[in-house]
């Protein structure tokens, strides 16, 4: 099988028919049959589990859109977009790790897909959700599943009564994947997140940030270089402060000094832009006070939109830029001001306004 032949697709609620189809397929669910499992809808004879449509909405609300607590996705094939299975991971508070699950549809097994699907799930768990450990357990007689987990980086941590337990830690994962990664703001990293903001972005207000992080958590991102926090980016819809503005505002971005000139700023910016798109905002804006920072934004696809100036009566717009030449030749006033930079994401128009 070719590398990178799969991707993860977070389904819409109406797409749960595929999960229902898998759970009602005796060949797919055969690994489940014969066990005493005490929950509604389980058929011990076939291993199938009922998943009626009236249960979809509640199930979906619990499993989807609740990171970093839980994540669920279909495994999809790049060549044709076909769904071939599902993966999930959820925090097990009592155990100190994340539990995971993977089910591939019977017709897609024994093709090498399991290992790649596991790697995609681990990438999301460690690099997006900030997981410390990921754990799974199942019958030791399922040797193909054991081999796939070991190939993906798990190690056997316990084997007893025909049940094998497998675990992979953050250190083990990044030992094989040592590059920088983006993780979301969570309780485990919020202290260092706000420490970086206080040191490198002294104008940011922690009380405002904490309040808006509750509503827009995906737009508060932390870049990790191994075990070290290297930078942050955060923001929220501009309409929170200016109702007439439909952009998603990058309120702050910073890379710690030891990590400058490594491309980390662009990684943070891309992660923030992805969050803006997830929240339904195809236009991102940022205010920049000049110098190399504006060149950084331009090199990442931002265009100067206007120049604003601070006055005793508030912030006023001094100039609307007509393009990069206008921006480069514009004589800025002596008074304090800043350039508003904008970027249209994912197929938007080339205009900055």
Domains observed in the chain: 6-176 (3.40.630.30), 181-344 (3.40.630.30)
Residue 258: what pLDDT? 87
Residue 13 near residue 87 (C-beta atoms within 8 A): no
244: three-class secondary structure by DSSP: coil
Residue with tokens 């009592």: 94
Alpha-carbon distance of 252 to 49, in angstroms, equals 47
**Which residue in 255, 273, 246, 263 sits closest to 299, CA to CA?**
263
Residue 239 to residues 84, 207, 211, 285, 351, Cα–Cα distance (Å): 41, 18, 15, 12, 20
Average pLDDT of the segment spanning 280-303: 86
**Better pLDDT: 263 or 342:** 342
The neighbouring-strand residues paired with 137 are 165
Whether pLDDT at 106 is above 50 = yes
Q: pTM (2 decimals)? A: 0.56
User: Using CA atoms in the order 13, 18, 20, 26, what is the torsion angle rounded to 10 degrees?
Assistant: -170
Average pLDDT of the segment spanning 51-57: 95
Residue 296 to residues 220, 270, 280, 284, 290, Cα–Cα distance (Å): 20, 13, 25, 15, 10
**Better pLDDT: 21 or 227:** 21
Q: pLDDT band at 328, cuts 50/70/90? A: confident
Residue 351: what pLDDT? 36
Residue 54 near residue 38 (C-beta atoms within 8 A): no
Residue 179: what pLDDT? 66
Residue 23: asked if its preceding bond is cis (omega within 30°), the reply is no
**Better pLDDT: 24 or 333:** 24
Q: pLDDT band at 353, cuts 50/70/90? A: very low
26: three-class secondary structure by DSSP: coil
Residues in the chain: 353
Alpha-carbon distance of 18 to 349, in angstroms, equals 36
Whether pLDDT at 161 is above 90 = no
Average pLDDT of the segment spanning 243-268: 89
């Amino acid at each position: 099988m070719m590398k990178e032949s799969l991707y993860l697709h977070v389904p819409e609620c109406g797409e749960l028919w595929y999960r229902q189809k898998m759970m009602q397929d005796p060949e797919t669910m055969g690994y489940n049959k014969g066990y005493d499992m005490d929950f509604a809808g389980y058929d011990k004879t076939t291993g199938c589990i009922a998943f009626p449509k009236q249960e979809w909405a509640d199930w979906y609300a619990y499993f989807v859109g609740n990171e970093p607590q839980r994540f669920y996705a279909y495994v999809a094939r790049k060549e044709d977009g076909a769904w071939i299975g599902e993966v999930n991971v959820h925090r097990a508070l009592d155990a100190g790790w994340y539990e995971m699950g993977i089910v591939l549809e019977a017709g897609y097994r024994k093709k090498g897909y399991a290992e790649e699907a596991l790697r995609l799930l681990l990438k999301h768990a460690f690099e997006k959700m900030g997981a410390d450990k990921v754990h799974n357990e199942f019958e030791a007689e399922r040797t193909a599943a054991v081999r796939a987990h070991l190939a993906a980086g798990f190690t056997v941590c316990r084997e007893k009564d025909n049940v094998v337990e497998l675990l992979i830690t953050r250190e083990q994962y990044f030992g094989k994947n040592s590059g920088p990664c983006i993780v979301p703001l969570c309780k485990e990293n919020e202290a260092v997140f706000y420490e970086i903001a206080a040191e490198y972005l002294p104008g940011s207000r922690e009380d405002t940030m904490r309040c808006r992080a509750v509503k827009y958590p995906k737009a508060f991102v932390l870049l990790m270089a191994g075990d070290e926090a290297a930078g942050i980016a955060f923001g929220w819809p501009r309409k929170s402060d200016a109702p007439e503005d439909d952009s998603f505002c990058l309120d702050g971005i910073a890379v710690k000094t030891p990590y400058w000139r490594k491309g980390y700023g662009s990684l943070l910016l891309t992660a923030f832009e992805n969050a803006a798109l997830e929240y339904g905002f195809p236009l991102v804006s940022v205010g920049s006070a000049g110098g190399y920072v504006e060149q950084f934004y331009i090199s990442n696809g931002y265009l100067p939109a206007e120049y604003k100036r601070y006055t005793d009566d508030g912030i006023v717009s001094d100039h609307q830029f007509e393009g990069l030449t206008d921006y480069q030749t514009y004589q800025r006033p002596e008074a304090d001001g800043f350039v508003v930079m904008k970027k249209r994401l994912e197929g938007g128009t080339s205009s900055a306004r």
